[in-house]
Structure formats: C-alpha cells, structure tokens
Structure 1
Amino acid sequence: MLLSYLLLFLSLGVVGLIFIPSYQKLIMRQYALGVTSLVFVCSLFLWLGFDHSTSKFQYVVDWLWVPFANINLVLGVDGISLFFVILTTLIFPLCLLASWSFDKGDVKTYLISFLSMELVLLLVFTNLDLLFFYVFFEAVLIPMFLVIGIYGSRQRKIRAAYMFFLYTLFGSLFMLIGVIYIYLFAGSTNYEALSTVSFSSYDQKWLWLAFFASFAAKVPMLPVHIWLPEAHVEAPTAGSVILAGILLKLGSYGFLRFSLGLFPEASLYFTPFVFSLSLLGVVYTLLTAIRQTDLKRLTAYTSVAHMNLVMIGLFTGTVIGVEASILQSLSHGFVSSALFLIIGVLYDRFHSRVIKYYGGLTHTMPLFIIIFLFFTMANLGLPGTSSFVGEFLLLASAFEANTTLCLFAATSMILGGGYSLWLFNRIAYGNIKIVGLDLSFREFIIFLPLVSGTLFMGIYPKVFFSVMHAAVSNLVWGNLWG
C-alpha cells in the first residue's frame, strides 16, 4: 500500500492547502514543503523494499474504474520507473525551497499547482493502463500552463504557455487515436495484458507513429523542440527546474515503456529514422546553444541535446544502451535542475539573465562559483560524475550499433565542452562587473542533495544498474531485438 500512501499524502496536501487562508503565506509554504518532504521519504522506502531479482511490477494497486468495459486504474513500479518516481519526489521539495521568497501573484495557486503537478507525474510514472496513462500524461499540461502563464517573468509568458500547451497537446491527439484503436483491437488497455498481444507489422508501424507524435514533442525532438526554449525563458525558476528535471523525461519514458515495449518490430523498423533525428537534434541544438546570450535559453537548448542523446541509447536495442539512457535521464534530472537553480540564484539577485551582464563573480561569490563549476563539469561529462557514466555507456552502445552514429554522437562532448567552459569563463572570471551576496544557507541546502546525488551516481552506478537490470533485460530480450 506504500504507493497508495504516496498519492494519498499528495491528494490530502492539495486539499489542505485550499483551506489555509491566503494571507498565511509562510504557513502555506511550510505545509507544502512538509508534504513534499514526507512524500520523498516515503518514496525512498519504495527503493529499500524493492526486489532486484524480478522484472515484475511491484507495489501494484488495482482500482476498478469501468468494470464492464475492462478499464481499471492499475499502478505499479518496476526497475525502469522506480528512479523516475524518486527523482520526481526529490525535485519538488527543492523547487519549493527555491521558491521560498517567491511572492508574485497568488501564492496558494502557485503551491497547489506544484503539488498537483507532482501528484499527476507520479501517476504517469506508475500507471499500467494505457488509457489512464494518456489522461495523466496530458493532465500535466494544466498546472504547468498555469505556472508559466501566470507566474512567468516577462511579457511573452502567455505566448510561451500557449506554445508549450499546443505543441505537446497536438501530438498527443494522434496518441489518443492509437489508444482507441488498441482498445477496440485488444479489448483492454492494461499494459501487462497488451504485452502479450501480437499486433501485425502494419498495425505496429501506424501505432508507433501515433505514439511517436506525442512522445517526440515531449523529449523534444526536431522539429517540434521550439516550445522548450520559449517555455524555459518565461517560466519562473521552479517551473524551469520541473520542465528540465522531470517533464522532459516523460517523452523518453513513454518511448521506453510503450513504443519499445508494445511495438518492438516497428521500433526496429524506425530506428534509422530516430537515429537521424536525434543526431540532428544533438548537433543543431548544441551549435545553437553556443551563440545564445540568455542564460536560460542556452541551458534549454543543451537540455534538448542531452535528451536526444538519450534517444540514441534507447534505440540501440541493447541492455547497456537502454540502461545507460535511463541513467543519463536521471543524471540530466540532477544536473540540469541544478543549472537552472544556479541561474535562478543569479536572477534573484540581479534580475538579469543576459550573459554579458556578468563577470568576475569568483571574487564576490566564491561558494556559488564552486557549485557552478561542479555542475559545469558534470554537464560536460567529467569522470566521477553521473553524466560520464551515462554518456560513456551510451556512446559504447552506439558504437556497437553503428560506428558512424557513434562518431557524430561523440561531437556532443566536444561541443558541450565548448559552450560549458566558455559560459563559465565569462561569468566567473574577468573584470568585476557586479557585486552580490554569496549563497545563503537555504540555497546551499538546495544544492547539497543534487551534488551528493551526482557524485554518488558517478562513483557507484552499480546501485542503480542492479535495480533496473532485470526490467531492462526483460524488455530487450523479451521482444524482437533479443
């Protein structure tokens, strides 16, 4: 029942916030932080009690919804989804801490949006019914739309919110058609039941394309990536952290769970197409990132590149490639979240994200620069950090699949080093252009778990691989690729 308790705590948290008077802003913040922290602690018990030796779903909850239509809300966790759940529960309390002094608009609506978003994201990562997965997959758009549209930082926030909403919703309409066809064909939308259904080669290809239209917009892949830089630039700091740290993982998770799991033959057929789009995404977005003048826009483009690299690993069809992609997704959740929090620290003090506005911060904010340097190195894959393990194994699996593919994918390390070191050099060194206070104790506490997680994952990744290995092996060897 542990999974039920997680969702119950969040549901009660949202209801409780409604009844706290709007003028009690400190109490609302403390209450929301307490709820999300409790949920994070509970999610760790999911990991502690997890059985590594099986690929079956654990902590399964089955709620009858429409019994006569064979539609039930089924929740469960396996080695693939476990760490996405823990990542989600970790990032949200950090976001609330980062928003502690945020006082723009109605604070109650702001906090309710975040708690609702966490609840829906947990339902997405644990859902074992295709219809309900679609419902919650789209429901995430509503609170994030409010966060960007109401609490954004600039005048273009409404435009950015609509771009985010429409780009991601339009692709998902094709996924809805695919879900309806699957239900009419198989008589069920239960994931475990569908994994035993054999779709024809023709059906698989059309269904794969329908799901691709939805998941590609969430990754995002070229050419439907335009919404992400706009959304990042306009969103508040906490909104950008959720976007980069968790929401981008919905696309790769959907590909892994459904496209590869249910349509293996079509996945194999479209692998060259995915490789081509992903390589274009990696090279194009990194080259675009180098020429950016806005801190958030630059980091947003690099997020697109990293997630497209994850897509290459997913479609190599090897256990190492898929495991590396999951680890790299988790690593990106830590590192990109930290980078957007770093940008938020600068914006809170100086109210500017223009790169040329900054310089010489090593002299006035040394602790901040140490944290910034650490995550800059982690972002370009320094050995000892989580990104190195993920990228190395990704490139190794890509080399096994196609040498040319690996060659072009490896340019991400060169281009990544170029923009990362150049950005750090411009902000940290040179003449002192601006003077500000160093990290506060609250800000240091925010970065501490992200630093610890990045180091732990980079030094001892075996802990993560041992949990996901059974589920990934079953996925790869149980379908056409094996």
Structure 2
Amino acid sequence: MNHTVQQLLLAAVVVLPLLGSAAALLPAPPGLRGRGPDQAVLRHGVTVTAVVLAAAIALAAGFDHGHPARMQAQTDIGWIPALDIRVHLGVDGVSLPLLVLTALLTFLCALYTYFNRPSGPSPKAFVALLLLLESGTLASFAVLDLMLFFLAFEMVLIPMYFLINRWGGAERERAAWRFILYTLLGSVVMLLGLLLVGLEGGTFDMVALATDKGSGLSHTTQLIAALAIIVGLAVKAPMWPLHSWLPDAHTAAPTVGSVLLAGVLLKMGTYGLVRIVLPMTPEAAHTYAPYLAAFAVVGIIYGSLACLALARTGAKGDLKRLIAYSSVGHMGFVLLGIATLTPTGVNGALFANIAHGLITGLLFFLVGALKDRSGTTDLDQLAGTSGAALYGRAPRLGGLLAFGAVASLGLPGLAGFWGEMLAMFGAFDPADGLSRPAFLTYMALAGFGTLLTAAYMLVVVRRVCMGDQPIEPGTGTGAGRPALADVHGHEFAAWSPLVALTVLAGLWPAALLGLTDPAVQQLLAGGNR
C-alpha cells in the first residue's frame, strides 16, 4: 500500500473518534433524527466506530507483513520544538493487533448500546465519552513520543470515570473515585520516569530511544526511571498488589464500560512495558524481572483463589466481580511472559493480551445480558430457585457462556491456550542472567493457577447454566422460574466476531505470532529502525 495512504489511515484511526466525540454533542440534523435525537446520537456512535474499524482493517490489510518489525505508516511532525516533542505516529507488529482489537471492541460496544440504550443521563454524553475513550486508547498504541504517550494514557481516565460514575450500578461513585485516584497516582509516578528517560536520553522519540538501547542512560538512571514507569504501568495492568481498584470498577461499570476496561484499557499497561521499559531501560528490566515475575505469579494464584471464594455456594459472589478477579490472574500470565525477557515469553504475553481482550470482552457482554434478563449478577440468586439455569431456559446464551468459560480457562484450540502456554515456556528457559530455578518455580505456580482457573470456571458454568433446581422437560422453566429471553439478533451480531476470532486465534496462532515475533526480536535486541 502507498505510504501516504497508510499515513492517512493511521491518522484517521486516531483522529476520527475525537472528531466524532465532539460532533456527538452537537444537535442532530433534522433529516437524521430518526425516531428522535437519542436514536440519532446512538446511530452516530455506531457509524463513527464502524468507519474507524474499517480504517483499522484497511491499515492491517495494507501492512507490510514481510517486515513487521519495521515501523510503518509513520507521521513525524514537530509540535513543541523547545522540548523536542513531536507528533510521531506509527505501527509495527506489536501495536497493530492492539489497534484492530480496540477498534473492533469499541464498534461492538456502540452496536450493543444502540439496541440497549444505557439507563442514565443523556445518550449524547455517553456516546461522546465512548468515542473520546476510543481515541485515547488508539492514540496510546499509535504514538511514538513519550510525552504524547503519557497524554494519550491520561486521556482515557476521564471518560472512563464518568462512564462508571454516571451510568454504573450500585456503589458507582466509590468505584469511580478509586479508579481515578489509583490510576492518576500511578500516572504521576510514571511521568517522572518518562521525563527522566527523555531528558537524560536527549530525546522523547520512542524509536530513537529504543534503538539506543539505553546507551545514553547510566545504570542508576535506568533503575530509577524504570521503577517509576513500571509502577505507573502496573496500576493499569493491573499487577498485584496494585489491582484493588479493578473489581470495584468492573462491578459498578455499565456493560460496555466493563468490556472496554477489560478488553482494552488493561492492555495499555502491558503494552507500555514492552514498548518502553524493555528496549529503553534494558539493564533495569533485567534487574527488576525476577520481582515482576514474582508479583505476576502471586496475582495468578490470588486472582484464582478469589474467584473460587466468590464461586462457592452461599458466598453471595457477584459474577462481574468474579470475572474482574479472573482478569488479575490472566494478566498475571502476561506480566510473567514479559518478565522472562525472552522472545517466547514476550510473544506469549502479547498473544495473551489479545486473547484476554476477546474472551473477557465476550464474558462481560454475556454477564451484562444476563443481568438485563434476570435483574442480578449474584451467583447465589442465579443458581437458586429464581436463577438462570441457562441450558434449559436460554440454551444459546448458556452455550455462549460455557464457551467463554472454557476459552478463559485455556482450553487447547482456543485463543486463551497459546498465550499462557508460551508465557510458561518462556519461564522454563528465561533470559541469560536470570535465575532459572526461580523461574521454574514461577512456572510451576503459574501451572497450578491454570488448574484453579479451570476449577472456578467450571463451578460457574455448573451453577449458572444448570442451576440448583431441575428444569421441567418441554417447558424450559422450573419451579418459580419465568421464561428467559434467549440471544437476540443484535446480541448475536455483537458477540459472534469475538467467538469467531477466539476460535481462529486458537487454531491459527501463527497469524498473530507472525506479526509480533520479528518486532519482539528487534525490541529485545535494541529497538525499531
């Protein structure tokens, strides 16, 4: 594809949601109002996100797959000459899959919202915030300047705060405040590290800094800067013990907020580790890797045990909270893969990032639909007399929930398997200089975490899909159970791409690994040229 066309496509992917967000606040033209201004603005959200998704797919189709390690579609324009801050955009094999995933999930959220109007304040504000969130997330994966990365990283906080605070469920104000305070505090610390890297390295250009491989930074500078950056990114990742904002945020957020929080926002933290910490501060990354791996493994075990506790009978566990804690465990595998500092581990981490976005996005869609139908996400109620028993009452919904659960537990042949397996392979033979006995221990503990994951996911499927009361044959209902709507057409349209991609990534992992591996090899070897 022509380089200029690639540049325009990447610029459109980043800028169009921002323009669409501003346009959503304007009055709808009379001919486009349909049944009313609310429907018009929801349709506007679907249209803008569809155009952005089409541009992202066109960018991926025109990407030079023969050279995925090379930064492509670059735009480099001066912005603040005094500080050498530039508007520098580009994509390679690491960032391209995350761009497409973000565009896809946001489009599916907009489509879902069009048919399930959010209860709360004006849909205008909801659509504007959704598009602003998309713009910030896409910019985080596309910019190649440290200061622009920080701005984009911060840009997503305000829209997510309002989505939780204004359209969320019970205790939404407390959850929104915890989200904003944790992430802002982490971001302030991260900013200090980014400034130190940029000022000491002589540039804020991420390509130049990665190519230099930290040669302009002393060992002490690398240690201080990397620690600050890792702390800020670990809050967003989320890494244990900086994860405690996540369950509350997920539980209180509206359905599309949970989907985007799990499917996209968490990936910004792990992406930053791969894009900034590994190539720019390699000595510090080597020093901190064993500790990062230890925290990752604790997160895997802790998240799984928390899910088991929530899934047991009588615990009054919330299904959304359970999936949120499962994210702590799954993102632990991503952090473990990064901490091995090996191409195998880092590729596994990037694969697990995409797989988690697809699978957990699907699970939050399903739980949101279940709440709309039954009025609750309490596991005891869903399994009790008035509960779901989905296999008998809504078999398609039950089948999709079972599919999401087995994909999440890492069943071979589905996307969740490859990332976790490659992360553990990386831990089996970590980078030179790292303690192999320690990483073998981490690998064993992570393997035990996969068993715990299977345990709580199967408990959830048994309780929600089968229930505690028998189903009367031929009626689809049990004692005290009214009929339950099965999957609607618009829900099938919003969820089927996630199902298809989960199967495709599981059966054809080379499609994604072929993109990421050359770029990872070059990042670990000293940057992108």
Is TM more than 0.5 here? yes
Residue 146 of structure 2 corresponds to which residue in structure 1?
130
Mapped partners of 2:228, 2:125: distance in 1 = 34
- Answer yes or no: is 1:35 the counterpart of 2:48: yes
SS state of the match for residue 407, structure 2? helix
Deviates most, 177-186 or 454-463: 177-186
Identity among equivalent pairs (%): 35
Partners of 2:161 and 2:428 in 1: CA distance: 40
1:5 maps to 12
Per-residue CA shift, 1:196-240, capped at 9, x if unaligned? Answer: 251111111111101011011011112111100000011101000
Superposed CA offset, 1:286-327 (max 9, x none):
101111110011000000110011100011121111111101
SS of 2:429's equivalent?
A: helix
Amino acid at match of 1:439: V
Separation (CA, whole Å) in 1 of partners of 2:257 and 2:77: 32
* Match 1:267 to one of 280, 285, 289: 285
**Aligned ranges 1:64-463 → 2 under 5 Å:** 64-100=78-114, 101=116, 102-154=118-170, 156-195=171-210, 196=212, 197-198=214-215, 199-292=217-310, 293-359=317-383, 360-401=389-430, 402-430=439-467, 431=469, 432=478, 434=481, 435-463=483-511
Is 1:469 aligned to 2:517, yes or no? yes
Q: TM-score, normalised by structure 1?
A: 0.96
Contact map agreement 2:146 2:198 (CA 8 A) in 1: no
Structure 1 Cα separation of the partners of residues 370 and 177 of structure 2:
27
Contact 2:126 2:163 in 1 (8 A): yes
| Matches of 1:7 and 1:406, distance apart in 2 | 38
How big is each residue's C-alpha offset from its partner over 1:411-433, in whole Å with a ceiling of 9 and x where there is no partner?
A: 12100011000001001114246
**Alignment check: 8 A CA contact 1:52 1:468 kept:** no
CA contact (8 A) 1:53 1:470 kept: no
Show CA shifts across 1:399-447 (max 9, x none).
2233222111101210001100000100111424633111111111111
Deviation digits for residues 18-76 of structure 1, max 9, x if unmatched? 22359511111111101101111110111111113332211111222112331111111
Looking at structure 2, the residues matched to 185 and 393 of structure 1 have their Cα atoms a distance apart, in angstroms, of 35
User: Given residue 460 of structure 1, which amino acid in structure 2 is its aligned partner?
Assistant: W
User: How far 1:469 moved relative to its partner?
Assistant: 1.8
Q: Distance in 1 between matches of 2:82 and 2:450?
A: 54
Structure 1 range deviating more: 100-109 or 316-325:
100-109
Distance 2:405 2:58 in 1: 32
- Residue 352 of structure 1, CA deviation: 0.6
RMSD (Å), alpha carbons: 1.4
Question: In structure 1, the residue corresponding to 2:25 is in which secondary structure?
Answer: helix
**Structure 2, unaligned stretches of length 5 or more?**
1-7, 311-316, 384-388, 431-438, 470-477
Secondary structure (helix, strand or coil) at the match of 1:270 reads helix
Which amino acid letter does the alignment assign opposite residue 526 of structure 2? Answer: G
Question: Structure 1's 395 and 179: CA in aligned 2 closer, same or farther, altered over 3 A?
Answer: closer
CA distance in 2, matches of 1:157, 1:15: 26
Which deviates more from structure 2 when the two are superposed, residues 328-337 or residues 389-398? 389-398
- Between the aligned partners of 2:398 and 2:319, the Cα distance in structure 1 is 15
Point out the structure with max Rg over C-alpha: 2
How far residue 179 of structure 1 moved from its aligned partner, in angstroms, is 2.4
Check conservation: 2:21, 2:132, Cα contact below 8 A. Answer: yes
Shift of 1:183: 3.3
1:192 Cα deviation after fit: 1.6
Render the CA deviation track for 1:154-192: whole Å, top value 9, x for unaligned.
1x1111111000101111112111222233323321112
1: CA distance, partners of 2:495 / 2:74 = 33
Number of equivalent positions = 478
- How far apart are the structure 2 equivalents of 1:67 and 1:320? 39
2:75–2:88 CA contact under 8 A, matched in 1:
yes
Name which of structure 1's ranges 329-338 and 1-10 shifts more when overlaid on structure 2.
1-10
Q: What amino acid sits opposite 2:489 in the alignment?
A: F
Residue in 1 aligned with 2:26?
A: 19
Q: Which moved more, 1:80-89 or 1:355-364?
A: 355-364
1: distance between equivalents of 2:119 and 2:238? 31
